[in-house]
Amino acid sequence: MAKFGGGFPGGGNMNNLLKQVQKAQKEMEKKQKELESKTYESSAGGNAVKAVLNGKKELLSVTLDESVVDPDDIEMLEDLIVLAVNGAIKQAEEEAAGLMSEMTGGMNIPGF
């Protein structure tokens, strides 16, 4: 039967591993709070429509230039709003993905 030396590859032990995991978890929580406190702004139609989201991907505001408020072309305004909101969501997601990649060293960890 194989005999284990009580350690992990590289000479570490369980306590050191747990400390590293706890440290990484605290750092992840800190970075998540930083992301949640940020705002992301995107615009469409040459800045005619602006959308601002927070890091939780909650829509904080939509600003419309009067030039895009045409009662005869509501569809265009709706499309511009969707583009602006989706642009801001994409910014938030890209920053979060970049942070996760940085924190995990590029490893693909399921659930993150």
| pLDDT tens-digit map of 38-80 | 999 999 999 999 999 998 889 999 999 999 899 999 999 999 9
Domains in the chain and their CATH numbers?
39-104 (3.30.1310.10)
Question: Own/partner pairs for 85-89, CB < 8 Å, 24+ apart?
Answer: 85/42, 85/51, 85/53, 85/59, 86/42, 87/42, 87/43, 87/44, 87/51, 88/40, 88/41, 88/42, 88/51, 88/52, 88/53, 89/40, 89/53, 89/57
pLDDT band with cut points at 50, 70 and 90 for residue 100: confident
Provide the whole-model pTM: 0.68
